[in-house]
Amino acid sequence: MAALESPQPAATATAMRHAFGNVLSVLILVLIGVLAFSIRLFSVIKYESVIHEFDPYFNYRVTQFLSKNGIYEFWNWFDDRTWYPLGRVIGGTVYPGLTLTAGTIWWVLNSLNIPLSVETVCVFTAPVFSAFASWATYLLTKEVKGSGAGLAAAVLLAMVPSYISRSVAGSYDNEAVAIFALIFTFYLYIKTLNTGSLFYATLNALAYFYMVCSWGGYTFIINLIPMHVLLCIVTGRYSPRLYIAYAPLVVLGTLLAALVPVVGFNAVLTSEHFASFLVFIIIHVVALVYYIKGILTPKMFKVAVTLVVSIGMVVCFIVVAILVALVASSPTGGWSGRSLSLLDPTYASKYIPIIASVSEHQPPTWPSYFMDINVLAFLVPAGIIACFSPLSDSSSFVVLYIVMSVYFSGVMVRLMLVLAPAACIMSGIALSQAFDVFTGSIKYQLGGSSKSTDDAEDTSNAPKDDASAGKTDKGEEIVKERSSKKGKKKEREPADKPSVKSKAKKKALVLPLETSVVALLLLIMLGAFYVIHCVWAAAEAYSAPSIVLTSQSRDGLHVFDDFRESYAWLSHNTDVDDKVASWWDYGYQTTAMANRTVIVDNNTWNNTHIATVGTAMSSPEKAAWEIFNSLDVKYVLVVFGGLIGYPSDDINKFLWMVRIGGGVFPHIKEADYLRDGQYRIDSEATPTMLNCLMYKLSYYRFVETDGKAYDRVRRTEIGKKHFKLTHFEEVFTSHHWMVRIYKLKPAKNRIRGRAKKLKSKTTSSGWSSKSAKKNPWV
């Protein structure tokens, strides 16, 4: 250690301090893990341990299959109970990471004779992995700035509302494990970059493999890391460690990505991965240049450069021309639809209405930034500046990470989730540096003398002269950062870093005592506001399972359990092989809870099939019956919120049915349903609207509820109140009329009376939406 007067006691004192600090860090990390786990349990306490929303039900069903039938069956599973009559190859179209993780946990627990059900494991997977994610954030930020910043970042991530929204207990979706995999992969990359060890490079590739298994957002990693490598090269920070960090990752990572069936050969064929290959080539060129520069004299090097540049330019030009031609020959330039809609935010609304219709794919509003990352929005810029104060490879990486994630979060609100870890890291760095300055100032002011030449207060780690000074400084930095944890432990023995000799060149940055104290208190209050907001957001905003709804009124709490009621009815009162048609939102829940075959579900991989269902919902009764009959449908399920005011019902989604249906079947024209540019269901509605299947199935017998047929969502009385259904019969309406199930009436055995006249009547009368064209379904 440093040159001390009495080496023995002081050295043990420092060692003791280090040990104490380490133990304290571990304790704090355990507490952070517990915090991250428990803040996500609100929905279990307020409702019950149930799987939320729509997508998690599919993942739950897949996990059930996996736990029942084993991994070989899962890998080869062809699901015939969805997308009837097409079916879906589950093994090849699902990201297996989440289900395999939960399945493994369930299997391990069961083999240890802890009999947790699959549902319990699925519900609690997300909170457990969020605890892991906070620990990964600690590791990552520790690599960038030190353990103080690491702890601050970890506690911020444990509570950040944006991450909570996708990982509450019950939200069993890909992001639950994917965010942990993302942060962990970045941590291993930075670790490799800092140490240059091939061992960490291997681990990095394996962590990347886990990320590819878990989420389609892995393309973010495989584009961000090459961007960072390019940035390092361009800013002159090329080093052999960069090569070791990047090159094995590309090769091993591409191979591992190609192993996952859902990615397959896309790992080498699609544009999402081209950046990594391009930078792979570039880094080899740069490495070669540096090597040759190292072994040649400067004069010869100049000669080499002129020679090579002239030949190389020609070759490069040819290769680039070929590449551009190849890429331009594909209509989307090689990018997939989803990636294109990220790069060009207007792409989806012009070309792919399905992507545009998902509410998670809309751009976020300004208030949602404050809601989702709260106080961090202010701390991030401070963190960015702190990252520049010594700019290292790792801090340039986090700066790039936050810039890219801010851009992508601005395109799609779902990607706020990728912004959250970056914001936490930056804010952790900022908080830690701020605490450094303030506590150092206080210590200096209280410590009085000029003995400790307070490079401690110096927020920038100024370059050290000699190695020993460097080591002492590091020890001091660590002690300082540990002592700056949330302002506690101020009573750390003052810097007896005596003779800390030729320290920083910069003069001390010391603030007056009162300022520091007040500033510390304000920072702590800021933290308190953050905590209050996060707990509120977790409890009130993000814990709704959306399969059960509640509302407070004068006479107490109302619980609307209509969804599960109707799925239970379906599973008990219909045959196992009956097909149920509904809008694609409810497909996963229907297959998982009601165990019936559906026509379309949330995977939305087949636009034409969805357009068929949309057309059927927008057509008059007879045409719709024809369409559904051709698909062997027995029951039609419709969600209706007009009685209780539930706004996400099928009438509000109707515009998408018309748009998607009209995109494939030109006889559905959106203008037929609009009055003055609006969808209306009251007396001003167009006749096409009043005759379409969705209107009829939603409002059949609605007038019997209150005599006036007042729709609480659209806030108006409906247009056509008394009508009968000719081709469908109502079989079930749930308690609050939220779900209505209809059965297709079987075709008539004989047509009464004059058959010829009836036939000509149907063809000529034709509802306005149906032209005289022959029905394509017959």
Partner 1 sequence: MVKSTTKDAQDLFHSLRSTYVATPTNLKIIDLYVCFAVFTALIQVAYMALVGSFPFNSFLSGVLSCIGTAVLAVCLRIQVNKENKEFKDLAPERAFADFVLCNLVLHLVIINFLG
Return residues touching partner 1 (CB under 8 A): 196-199, 201-202, 205-206, 239-241, 243-244, 247-248, 251-252, 254-256, 258-259, 265, 268, 287, 292, 294-297, 300, 303-304, 307
DSSP conformational letter for 671: G
- Cβ count near 366 (within 10 Å): 7
What phi, psi does 6 have (nearest 5°)? -115, 95
The three state secondary structure string of 296-365 is: CCHHHHHHHHHHHHHHHHHHHHHHHHHHHHHHHHCCCCCCCHHHHHHHCCCHHHHHCHHHHHCHHHCCCC
Residues 6+ apart with CB under 8 A from 672: 686, 688, 689, 768, 769
Q: Would you say 491 and 425 are in contact if contact means Cβ atoms under 8 Å apart?
A: no
CA atoms of 543 and 161, how far apart (whole Å) = 11
- Cβ count near 748 (within 10 Å): 8
Q: How far is the CB of 623 from partner 1 (least distance, A)?
A: 45
Residue 34 in tokens: 């517990």
* Most distant CA atoms of the chain, gap in Å: 117
Q: How far is the CB of 199 from partner 1 (least distance, A)?
A: 5
| Count of CA atoms in the C-beta half-sphere (13 A) of 162 | 29
Residues 6+ apart with CB under 8 A from 512: 441, 445
Q: Rg of the chain's alpha carbons, rounded to an integer?
A: 31
Which lies closer to partner 1 via its Cβ, residue 181 or residue 348?
Answer: 181
CA atoms of 464 and 441, how far apart (whole Å) = 21
Q: What is the DSSP string of 92-144?
A: HHS-THHHHHHHHHHHHHHHTT----HHHHHHHHHHHHHHHHHHHHHHHHHHH
Which lies closer to partner 1 via its Cβ, residue 241 or residue 443?
Answer: 241
Which lies closer to partner 1 via its Cβ, residue 256 or residue 681?
Answer: 256
Give 126: exposed, middle or buried? Use CB within 10 Å, 0-12, 13-18, 19+: buried
| Consecutive H or E run containing 742 | strand 739-744
CA distances from 497 to 110, 456, 471, 501 (A): 55, 10, 12, 9
| Count of CA atoms in the C-beta half-sphere (13 A) of 191 | 22
Residue 41 in tokens: 């349990």
Name the packing angle between helices 118-145 and 393-411 (round to 10°). Answer: 130
3-state secondary structure of 735: coil
Q: Specify the residue for token string 């940035």.
A: 231
User: Please, which residues bridge with residue 633 across strands?
Assistant: 579
Residues 6+ apart with CB under 8 A from 330: none
Which lies closer to partner 1 via its Cβ, residue 198 or residue 525?
Answer: 198
If you count them, how many residues does the chain have?
Answer: 778
3-state secondary structure of 717: strand
CA atoms of 429 and 440, how far apart (whole Å) = 16
CA atoms of 389 and 146, how far apart (whole Å) = 14
Residue 694 in tokens: 């969705």
- Cβ count near 630 (within 10 Å): 15
Which lies closer to partner 1 via its Cβ, residue 265 or residue 366?
Answer: 265
Residues 6+ apart with CB under 8 A from 62: 74, 90, 94, 99
Q: Which among 440, 453, 403, 444 is positioned nearest to 425, based on CA atoms?
A: 403
Q: Would you say 512 and 445 are in contact if contact means Cβ atoms under 8 Å apart?
A: yes
CA atoms of 223 and 221, how far apart (whole Å) = 5
Residue 3 in tokens: 């040159």
Q: How far is the CB of 301 from partner 1 (least distance, A)?
A: 9
H helix count then E strand count, the chain: 34, 13
User: Does the CA dihedral 232-237-241-243 come out positive or negative?
Assistant: positive
Q: How far is the CB of 252 from partner 1 (least distance, A)?
A: 6
Q: How far is the CB of 330 from partner 1 (least distance, A)?
A: 17
Q: How far is the CB of 465 from partner 1 (least distance, A)?
A: 18
